[in-house]
Chain A
Amino acid sequence: MKRLEGKVAVITGGNSGIGLASAKRLREEGAKIAISGRDAKTLESAAKEIGEGTLVVQGDVSKLSDIDKLYNAVKENFGKIDVLFVNAGIAIFAPYAMTNEELFDKMYDINVKGAYFTIQKAIPFLNDGASVILNTSIVSTKGMENTGIYSSTKAAVRSFARTAARELLPRKIRVNAVAPGPITTPIIGRTGMSEEQQQAYVEGVKSRVPMGRSGTADEVAGAVAFLASDDSSYVTGVELNVDGGLGQL
């Protein structure tokens, strides 16, 4: 289906994982793609995977000036934005007793402040009728071990979906969240878990998730494409769980 023919889509953290899979899916649906990310090398290889004409902007969403850089580059190359996937985020797991201010600030700067200003600074660059999708997580409505900081950052972002949705109604801009359950992506290697802990995590997923497996980045991308398109024109402020049943059953 080419539901996004002629549309401009921006994906933060589009160089890897869910961001990359979503960029590819939105491209398949006809959109022009701009991706941002911290790592210039993976940005380049991602752009090749997504396809010709992909705009690449290196940047770190925890630096507000990098967000400005992204939107100026998109405006210059593509014009105004129809789809914004606020996806850049990190996940580092640790129990309460072992967390410190540095970890707290790192997670909040990227996942919350970065997401907030990615939304706020986009406003003058969005077309009326645009669709904004925020990547949250099912952990934000659960109490899982070692996720004290991570879960709260995602709960905060879910709140942004509601309030931004409210404020952007007059311009017919929709804001929704997609909440992945456990998904197989490279983020797992960056969570601070040892090899052994990662193994245990993967085994744990099989027993905890009703579907008995992790999801794929493509499965999340399918939901992102739905929310990005006019198929969801009466949908705003929701959090759509893509979680193998984990949040519901």
Chain B
Amino acid sequence: MKRLEGKKAVITGGNSGIGLASAKRLAEEGARVLISGRDPKTLSAAATEIGPGTLTVQADVSKMADIDKLVAFTKEQFGKIDILFVNAGIAKFAPLPESTEALFDEHFNINVKGLYFTVQKAMPYLNDGASVILNTSIVSTKGEANTSIYAATKAAARSIARTAARETLPRRIRVNAVAPGYIETPIFVRSGISAQQIAMFKAGAAARTPMKRLGTAEEVAAAVAFLASDDATYITGVELNVDGGMGQL
């Protein structure tokens, strides 16, 4: 019995990394999947990986008009949806003294404003009993070097899980966050640092993680599938850490 048979799911940033792995996992569990992302090439490749019937729409969540486009396309193709994984986000690291206004705006526009309005604009198109999952991060409750902007955006996103959960109670909609630790995904490649620095960063992250390894995107996807399903019907407003022990031990 597939837990998500017949459910309709939308994943922002579903063309790569955790978003793509989650889209694949939700499809395996029987859901119909619609993914959005900025890059039309990778969107197309992702749709092939996820499976026949996968819908795609090009959208940059930092542009309100693109969120409207995503929502309109969803309404047209799916009507109302059952699962929304608000996953689109960026992570660029810099020490506090070197952070610029441009870096600040870029992060907050995508990770916070984009996330907030994806949730808000999708709300009328969620079925009663739907499940919304926000991709946060364990760094939001830690003080890691070079994450002053990134961590704050994720703390804001975690807050949105609580308040959106509160306001959607009457419709039995659940809103939860999944907080990945250090996960092996392409996000690092886009962080603006050299390949050697990325390798050093990953080695350092693995060493500092209690499980002594990075997580896989599939391991986060499994938590997303849990929160999306009826196995989590009494769970709302939580932040579920998928972090190899990083946030807890």
- How far, in angstroms, from A247 to B231 measured CA to CA in the complex? 18
Number of interface residues, chain A, beta carbon within 8 A: 37
**Which listed residue (A210, A216, A226, A231) contacts B236, Cβ 8 A?**
A210
For chain B residues 205-249, which have a beta carbon within 8 Å of chain A? 210-212, 215-216, 219-220, 222-223, 225-226, 229-238, 240-245, 247-249
Asked if residues B249 and A248 are in contact (CB atoms below 8 Å), the reply is no
Give min CB distance, A225 to chain B, whole Å. 7
A210-B165, A231-B225 known; A216 and B245 CB under 8 Å?
A: no
- How far, in angstroms, from A212 to B210 measured CA to CA in the complex? 38
Query: A215 in the interface, Cβ–Cβ < 8 Å?
Result: yes
- How far, in angstroms, from A232 to B224 measured CA to CA in the complex? 11
Give min CB distance, A214 to chain B, whole Å. 9
A164 nearest in chain B by CB position: B249
Query: B14 in the interface, Cβ–Cβ < 8 Å?
Result: no
**Which listed residue (B234, B247, B248) contacts A211, Cβ 8 A?**
B234
- How far, in angstroms, from A236 to B244 measured CA to CA in the complex? 6
Give min CB distance, A53 to chain B, whole Å. 22
Asked if residues B222 and A231 are in contact (CB atoms below 8 Å), the reply is yes
Query: A219 in the interface, Cβ–Cβ < 8 Å?
Result: yes
Asked if residues B169 and A235 are in contact (CB atoms below 8 Å), the reply is no
CB-CB contacts of A200-222 with B at 8 A, as 1s and 0s? Answer: 00000000001110011001101
Binds B, one of A38-46, A87-95, A115-123, A237-245: A237-245
- How far, in angstroms, from A161 to B248 measured CA to CA in the complex? 9
- How far, in angstroms, from A162 to B245 measured CA to CA in the complex? 9
- How far, in angstroms, from A235 to B179 measured CA to CA in the complex? 11
A75 cross-chain contacts in B, Cβ below 8 A: none
B225 cross-chain contacts in A, Cβ below 8 A: 231
Asked if residues A236 and B235 are in contact (CB atoms below 8 Å), the reply is no
Query: B89 in the interface, Cβ–Cβ < 8 Å?
Result: no
Query: B92 in the interface, Cβ–Cβ < 8 Å?
Result: no
Give min CB distance, B5 to chain A, whole Å. 12
Q: List, sorted by A's number, 15 A–B pairs whose CB atoms are closer than 8 Å.
A: A161-B248, A165-B210, A165-B248, A166-B249, A210-B236, A211-B172, A222-B231, A222-B233, A231-B222, A234-B216, A234-B219, A235-B240, A242-B234, A244-B234, A248-B237
5 further contact pairs, Cβ within 8 A, besides A219-B233, A243-B235: A210-B166, A222-B231, A236-B244, A237-B249, A238-B241
